[in-house]
Amino acid sequence: MPTQFDPPSGTRDFLAADAEQREQAFSVIRSVFTRYGYEPLQTPAFERLDVLLGKYGEDGDKLVFKILRRGEHEASGEADLALRYDLTVPLARVAAAYGSQLPSPYKRYAIGPVWRADRPGKGRFREFVQCDLDTLGSASVLADAEALCAQHDALAALGLPEFSIQLNSRRVLSGLLEAFAVPGELGAGVLITLDKLDKLQPEAVISELEGRGLAAGTAADLVNAMTGPDAVDRVRSALKPYSVGAAGLDEVDTLLSLVALQIPPGRIAFTPRLVRGLSYYTGPIWEVVAPGVPGSIGSGGRYDHLIEQLGGPDTPATGSSLGVERILSLLPQGGADQHSRLDVAVTVMADEFGRQAFDLAAAARGAGLRSSIYLGESGKLGRQLRWASNQGARWCLIYGSAEDEAGTVTVRDMRSGEQTAVQVGELGDYLARQ
């Protein structure tokens, strides 16, 4: 492929099979979310620059695609708009804009592309689809449970063979910091380091914690409590005496109980070492992992103050996000053939039979079949049968002088090569019966 015809760096063209697979997956997800009473929201691809900047930290701001002013202002080299970087800042803007016109609570999902000027790499794109659901306006753990279950059901409905959910609460982590007497000013940094427990050896994490100023004994005790086979029991007993920690445990246990009937046992587990990198979470947090896949394929949690920080109203909020691009790469591929397969290919044996070919294709479509007529220039049957075969057609219809005289059409089964003469008026019924 000559470089000048590539899509821009970090973006992709989706030809037939990929585009169909993606559309099908989005349709499955929409249907699950809808059954949970989440409603769709679509916002523009771009927002005013001031709506986006300052919301993603300094590093995030650098990754925002900015749009040049137009007309006489273009020469200024300034930007006034920018492509959306995620679906959460637009949600905060919508919550601010429509306020009481929105239902309360506002349960919405959004599926759409976002753009980040990241360095492209394996599995990392500059244009990729995000798939979020969120509930604004409810502080109830029932809202967390719905977000968790809807995400689980979507993954199950997509046919993902194996995945599991790690569940924790930010309050459990706060309780741990209190129980292990971590000085308040070190808390945020300690959590950032503890977040590496799934990638680094415990010793490496301990030494990084010490580097952050944590006493050597404390660092080791904390890491030991959070890792190993009996981590859950040790964390449970460590947290009991502390009110925040105990509330966090209660939150986790309530959630586990709420989802017990819907998420199969063994697929969800309290995981004390789960931190979630982002600091805005305030309650339950979770990640979905799949065997052999680095990182997570989904995540979620409660973030009670973020919408306000992003410019929206002060509202409790919870939600989950599916890593659809990763999930799509895990689903079975349709096979080597990138292009759509026809059900019925219709030959055109001579110009004079074009009208009949056209009507035969319409009859096949009327029977719900994907059908196309031959659009090439050859009148040779062999050539047209090769085309039908290349299109993956299940049947090929042949209509020439003999058929025209007999008022029939020849239906060729492309697998067996068997040919059957069918009355023209009965073609739709005949195909529908096969």
What residues between 158 and 187 interact with its own copies by CB under 8 A? none
* Residue 12 binds its own copies (CB under 8 A): yes
Closest contact distance (angstroms) between CB of 114 and its own copies is 10
Closest contact distance (angstroms) between CB of 32 and its own copies is 9
* Only segment of 60-68, 227-235, 277-285, 378-386 that touches its own copies (CB under 8 A): 60-68
* Only segment of 18-26, 168-176, 217-225, 235-243 that touches its own copies (CB under 8 A): 18-26
* Only segment of 41-49, 202-210, 240-248, 416-424 that touches its own copies (CB under 8 A): 41-49
Binds its own copies by CB under 8 A, chosen from 133, 173, 259, 317? 259
Closest contact distance (angstroms) between CB of 75 and its own copies is 8
Q: Which of residues 383-422 bind its own copies (CB under 8 A)?
A: 390-391
Nearest-angstrom CA–CA distance, 387 and 347 = 9
* Only segment of 90-98, 183-191, 238-246, 287-295 that touches its own copies (CB under 8 A): 90-98
* Only segment of 197-205, 235-243, 260-268, 413-421 that touches its own copies (CB under 8 A): 260-268
Token pair listed for 242: 């502390």
* Omega of the bond leading into 105 within 30 degrees of 0 (cis): yes
* Residue 55 binds its own copies (CB under 8 A): no
Tokens 């980040």 — which residue?
A: 116
Q: Give the number of residues in contact with its own copies, rule: CB under 8 A.
A: 106
Closest contact distance (angstroms) between CB of 28 and its own copies is 13
Asked if 106 and 137 touch (Cβ cutoff 8 Å), the reply is: yes
| 235 closest CA partner among 318, 171, 319, 321 | 171
Query: DSSP labels for 309-347?
Result: HTTS----EEEEEE-HHHHHHHSPP--S--S---SEEE-
* Residue 74 binds its own copies (CB under 8 A): yes
Nearer to its own copies (CB atom), residue 13 or residue 185? 13
Tokens 């924790």 — which residue?
A: 168
Tokens 């009473």 — which residue?
A: 37
Q: Residue-wise over 147-180: b if at least 16 C-beta within 10 A, else e?
A: bbbbbbbbbeebebeebbbbbbbbbbbbbbbbbb
Binds its own copies by CB under 8 A, chosen from 28, 30, 192, 400? 30
Binds its own copies by CB under 8 A, chosen from 58, 161, 184, 261? 261
Residues 338-377, one symbol each (x = binds its own copies by CB under 8 A, - = not), give xxx-x-----x-----xx-xxx--x--x--xxxxxx-xxx
Spell out the long-range contacts of 54-59 with Cβ–Cβ below 8 A and sequence spacing 24 or more: 55/85, 55/89, 55/309, 55/310, 55/311, 56/85, 56/86
| Dihedral Cα 212, 214, 218, 224, nearest 10 deg | 0
Q: Which of residues 106-125 bind its own copies (CB under 8 A)?
A: 107-108, 113, 115, 117
